[in-house]
Amino acid sequence: MHKVLEVSEGSIENLKIPPMSALSSPRRSAQQSSLASLSTELASQESALSYTSIAFSLKMDLHFSSRLCLFFFMITIHLVHFPTHVSAKDVQNLNCSAPFHCANLRNIGYPFWGSNRPEYCGYPGFELDCAGDVPKITIMDRAYKVLHINNESRRINVAREDYWDYNCPANLSNSSLNFSIFNYASDTRNLTLYYSCPASFMNNISGILLPNRFNCSIDGKNSNNYYFSWDSNSFNSSISSAIGAYFRSCANSVVIPVWQSTLRYMVNNLNSVNLTCALRVGFGLQWHANNRLCEECEQSNGNCGYIAKTGEFICYCPNGAYSSSCHSRTGSFLNKKRKIYVGIAASVLGTMVILGILLIVIQALIKKKTREDDRNVEAFIRNHESLAPKRYSYSDVKRMTKSFRDKLGQGGYGEVYKGELPDGQLVAVKVLKNSRCNGEEFINEVASISRTSHVNIVTFLGFCYENKKNALIYELMPNGSLDKFIHNDRNIKLEWKTMYQIAIGIARGLEYLHRGCQVRIVYFDIKPQNILLDEDFCPKKSDFGLAKQAQKKESAISMLHARGTIGYIAPEVYSRRFGGVSHKSDVYSYGMMIIEMVGCTKNLDDEVTDTSICHNLIYERIEPGNDFQFDGVATEEEKKIAKMMILVGFWCIQTNPSERPSMHKVLEMLEGSIENLQIPPKPSLFSAT
């Protein structure tokens, strides 16, 4: 301070310009400004996300728990330190341990190689071409698109490249394998395509094979071509013999493997669109490339490889290369390994202690949160007695369901049972799972559906909230959910008029939620499983567990996490770069569903990854210059209904939310004239591969 006095009382000419403080530097200020902006943004998001003060209180313990988990995680990271040093000279081990990404597939392992992955990291016959959007592999001089690779099960899903876009390639030849390294997967079956068959044959066979026809122009002429699967043949011996004799007179035939599940669906839904889809979905192969040796190598922390000159397997390790696994040949390395194992054991023991403490703390927080949930739900019920329907005890629920004897179905939120009220009314009782039934979700569903009263929304009759035993009670829909009429292996079909009325009913229910309530309710889970049908096939929406409410009619909705079912979620729900979340997100889900109702049936095979194939094929039917033809359409009226639903569906699934119509406009389009409907642009998310 003495120096400060001298400076203050002296001449200004003697003062030097001091260096800028690090705390007040522009960089520091920018960081503070950025942090302040981020804090403001997070605060606004938190405010928008608070459904009520009840939901806010439920989140407080989760924030504290997250910070506590992060603290213990950082301690664990410091305790657990595994040796990661690799010799700089071991280039082969480094190259083979690097992640291998090829086109749209990531983290591909041995035996595949190609692009920037050296040949010694793979096995002969497993080179991948990564130049296009989808990887390609050549098997017996034939190119296949690689759709999926499962390193754990050693399965690969492929589709023939020459049948990817067209059922009539220039070179007609069977699929063949190198059986020394590949075998067909057990759930693979054969589909045979017959080309240039005779035009005249027995009349009784004509009706059987007509649905199996597909177009193929040979020498400028559209010949008679059919697809047939002898693996799924259900005809008697005399008809089968006649069909076989006829097919032997065809000029060419090609055998192509397909998934068993795909073939089962095709048999029940015969048309050329499904043939194209089946060939694009492909089939499965099991590979064999020193599998046992590679498993031993990887278990010893090595990387599998192959010596092309000698034709031998090799295991690349941090300390060199070995014939099968990373077993050292020197005592010094064994001592190093022992030290490593001791260090790992000590680290694991310390981690277990930390995890034990962490589990105790988490359990205490869960108990506290459960008590808070119970208090908050009870407070909500007391404050909304005028809206909430009748409350039942758990013993009442057991009595009305006869101890949960008749199970109707099961979903992500719980199980649904058939029940009967004391007055004889049949009901559906949804018993909520403990893991999914937190207080906020329960309040959300009760609050949302209690505000509704519409012919296309299921009637909410009561609820049970008793400790961890919670249930919701609705009117029973005798025809079940819509999905069983569009996702089935049996011949259960709805008439086009009925499907049209169902689509209109669903739209009316959504318009009511968006415009007819005191607050706007956005449903967020539109899918066939949540559309119930009464005895007259009148659709009613159920399951409001994911619904959100907005006080202002045009206000956007803020969310931290995506909600809904994959395949129906609007793009802006999982990525804000597509726009803000609003009631237009429901419009997208509605469009996906009615396109599915018309003909793009959901494929339930886990190996299938390209969900846009059927959308592309259906869109081609409505493009200018194409004659609209659709399987199962018998009359002009049915043709108009199918085309109208497709046009409306594609308007609803536009990628930009602002380009989608409101549900009010959707109703006008469905109930208006098809001549007034314009062809919508093709959504960018469904552009052809």
Residue 454 is part of a domain; what is its CATH number?
3.30.200.20
Same domain, 619 and 666: yes
Q: Could you please report the per-residue DSSP string of 394-435?
A: HHHHHHHTTTTTSEEEE-SSEEEEEEE-TTS-EEEEEEEPTT
Domain residues for 452? 389-475
Flag whether 322 is in a domain: no
Q: Which one of 433, 450, 475 terminates a domain?
A: 475
Flag whether 43 is in a domain: no
Same domain, 673 and 553: yes
d(CA 534, CA 240): 42
Active-site annotation, residues: 525
Same domain, 449 and 582: no
Same domain, 404 and 521: no
Give the annotated binding-site residues.
430
Q: Which one of 288, 309, 344 terminates a domain?
A: 288
pLDDT in the model for residue 467: 73
Residue 644 to residues 290, 510, 593, 668, Cα–Cα distance (Å): 56, 19, 14, 12
d(CA 129, CA 440): 50
Contact (Cβ atoms closer than 8 angstroms) between residue 568 and residue 574: no
d(CA 440, CA 331): 61
Same domain, 508 and 540: yes
pLDDT in the model for residue 648: 96
Same domain, 559 and 498: yes
Contact (Cβ atoms closer than 8 angstroms) between residue 279 and residue 193: no
Flag whether 92 is in a domain: no
Flag whether 614 is in a domain: yes
Same domain, 426 and 533: no
Same domain, 424 and 545: no
Identify the CA nearest to 57 among candidates 331, 541, 451, 438.
438
Contact (Cβ atoms closer than 8 angstroms) between residue 641 and residue 500: yes
Q: Which residue type, as a one-letter code, is found at position 416?
A: V
Same domain, 436 and 551: no
Q: Which two tokens stand for residue 682?
A: 């093709």
Q: Which one of 440, 475, 510 terminates a domain?
A: 475
pLDDT in the model for residue 58: 34
Flag whether 232 is in a domain: yes
pLDDT in the model for residue 181: 92
Same domain, 273 and 161: yes
> Strand order in 142-150's β-sheet?
128-129, 136-139, 142-150, 155-160, 283-287, 182-184
Same domain, 281 and 424: no
Flag whether 520 is in a domain: yes
Contact (Cβ atoms closer than 8 angstroms) between residue 368 and residue 61: yes
pLDDT in the model for residue 555: 56
pLDDT in the model for residue 78: 45
Number of domains in the chain: 3
Task: Give the CATH number, domain containing residue 666.
Answer: 1.10.510.10
pLDDT in the model for residue 543: 80
Identify the CA nearest to 509 among candidates 538, 475, 488.
538
In degrees, rounded to 5, the angle at the alpha carbon of residue 35 between the alpha carbons of residues 31 and 37 is 115
Averages of pLDDT over runs of 10 residues in the chain (689 residues) are 55 58 38 34 34 35 45 46 44 89 92 93 94 93 94 92 88 90 91 85 66 76 81 73 86 91 79 80 92 91 90 89 72 48 85 92 78 64 61 92 90 84 93 62 71 88 84 91 76 83 96 84 89 94 78 58 77 86 93 88 43 76 76 84 93 94 96 92 70
Flag whether 600 is in a domain: yes
Give the annotated binding-site residues for ATP.
430
Q: What is the pTM of this model?
A: 0.50
Flag whether 261 is in a domain: yes
Same domain, 440 and 493: no
